[in-house]
Structure 1
Amino acid sequence: MSQLTTKQKQFLKGLAHKLKPVVMLGANGLTEGVLAEVELALDHHELIKVKVSSEDREEKKAIMAAIVRETKAVEVQTIGHIQVLYRATPERKIEVPKAR
């Protein structure tokens, strides 16, 4: 699932609303350790929030794009420093509405 419909994104945003960021990027930026954490969190939860604390807007966008590219997750939304990511697992923990 590489693309989500608007309806599917709305559904996931609703679920993500109550979530707290599970991975926080600090001054070291995007390291292999951070990527490994994101991978683990996606495998475990499917839907996660990542907080990217970069004051540089372009750097923040680049980091968020790299996370999506490296983890093959789908970006559900970005609000400020928070990125919501979704990646289905074989067990399908979250039942996303079917695309029409």
Structure 2
Amino acid sequence: MLTGKQKRYLRSQAHHLNPIFQVGKGGVNDHLIRHIQEALEVRELIKVTILNTVPDDRDEVARELAEGAGAELVQLIGKIVILYKESKDHKTIELP
């Protein structure tokens, strides 16, 4: 579980990032989760866009993404989700 200070730090690190995944009308599926897990292992911190065509609630989609990928939900603001997971092999982010 991340502290408030750690979340603030991660939000500042994610500010310049562009979203690399989109959740569309198909919603959250195993294929998307697998790709997010792979990206988190390499990058540690990613942004995901939730499109307007998603039938589910954005909070629920963000929670499903975080749980499925085994990641921490740093922030959900509007339609952007920020996820963090510490990498085993490519650790670059040092949390305060």
Q: TM-score, normalising length from structure 1?
A: 0.85
CA distance in 1 between counterparts of 2:9 and 2:79 reads 21
Matched residue of 1:51: which SS? strand
Cross-structure match for 1:26 = 24
1:62 to 48, 60, 65: 60
CA distances 1:9-58 after superposition (whole Å, capped 9, x unpaired): 11111100000001111121112111111111111100000111146785
CA distance in 1 between counterparts of 2:13 and 2:85 reads 14
Structure 1 runs (4+) greater than 6 angstroms displaced: none
Alignment of 1:1-100 (within 5 A): 3-54=1-52, 59-91=57-89, 92-97=91-96
Length, aligned pairs only:
95
* Residues 16, 47 of structure 1: 8 Å contact kept: yes
What is the identity, as a one-letter code, of the residue corresponding to 1:89? Answer: S
Q: 1:40 to 1:93 in 2, by over 3 A?
A: same
What is the identity, as a one-letter code, of the residue corresponding to 1:95? Answer: E
What is the identity, as a one-letter code, of the residue corresponding to 2:93? Answer: I
**Equivalent pairs: percent with the same residue?**
32
What is the identity, as a one-letter code, of the residue corresponding to 1:62? Answer: E
CA RMSD of aligned residues (A): 1.7
Matched residue of 2:27: which SS? coil
Structure 1 residue 59, shift from structure 2 partner = 2.3
Which runs of 5 or more residues in structure 2 are unaligned? Answer: none
Q: TM-score, normalising length from structure 2?
A: 0.88
